Chains A and B, each alone.
Chain A
Amino acid sequence: DAGVIQSPRHEVTEMGQEVTLRCKPISGHDYLFWYRQTMMRGLELLIYFNNNVPIDDSGMPEDRFSAKMPNASFSNLKIQPSEPRDSAVYFCASSGTGGLPVSYNEQFFGPGTRLTVL
């Protein structure tokens, strides 16, 4: 398996523009997570899905952020409109729980998307 795939790897955009980040989880994994990492705040969970259904989106900063998982092979995270304070590295991760608690299983992270909003 190729691991978790994220695209694009780098994104530079101007304030006010819509940004779409994409993720392909590892085949067979039933959990998908979106994280954001900054120097100031570290690695923060934004939202996670179980079997394509959003379970906890309490980490989503505000209404400008949205995430969907239309099928088991794809998820996207959208920011509209983008702001400079959204600049960060966004990671997607997936895990296969086998019925065990989600926090018991290792998460497999993608390479991340480095977003810069000018």
Chain B
Amino acid sequence: SQKIEQNSEALNIQEGKTATLTCNYTNYSPAYLQWYRQDPGRGPVFLLLIRENEKEKRKERLKVTFDTTLKQSLFHITASQPADSATYLCALDSGSARQLTFGSGTQLTVLP
């Protein structure tokens, strides 16, 4: 069956370090993969999109990689700050209508 797994439900890191979040998938062949941020009580907010033919995408302190052989995307936040604390969701296109399917998310806490 199709499955999207995001690493450990919660990740705690020290301020200033690099946070690395993992999104693994099986039985999909996504053309695109997106990352969203969700704060408590709010809807998800789009961060980055990466295409299957792109290895890496950057935006300010964010970096996303996409390895279609490993069926994995990594999401990095460099020089992390307490304000980066949130739940991060990966989403990939799936199904015949190519709509987005979301992973369960990883809750990141950056400790001051």
Q: Which residues of A contact B (CB under 8 A)?
A: 4, 33, 35, 42-45, 48, 55-56, 91, 93, 101-104, 106-112
Contact = CB atoms under 8 A, between A and B. Distances in A.
Q: Assign chain B's interface to a size class.
A: 20 to 34
A109 B103 contact: no
B32 interface: yes
B30, B89, B94, B100, most chain A CB atoms within 10 A: B100
Interface string B94-110: 11011111111100000
A42 B102 contact: yes
Contacts of B93: 101-104
B45 interface: yes
Interface in B52-100: 89, 92-95, 97-100
Given A42-B105, A102-B97, A103-B93, A110 B34 contact: no
A55 B45 contact: no
Contacts of A4: 43
Given A42-B102, A42-B103, A42-B105, A110 B97 contact: no
Contacts of A108: 46
Nearest to A47: B99
B97 A107 contact: no
B95 A56 contact: yes
A101 B31 contact: yes
B37 to A, nearest CB: 11
A55 B44 CA distance: 22
B11 interface: no
Given A42-B102, A101-B98, A104-B49, A112 B31 contact: no
A42 B42 CA distance: 14
Given A43-B89, A101-B93, A106 B101 contact: no
B44 A109 contact: yes
B1 to A, nearest CB: 14
Contacts of A43: 44, 89, 102, 105
A32 to B, nearest CB: 12
A43, A56, A108, A109, most chain B CB atoms within 10 A: A43
Given A42-B104, A42-B105, A101-B93, A107 B46 contact: yes
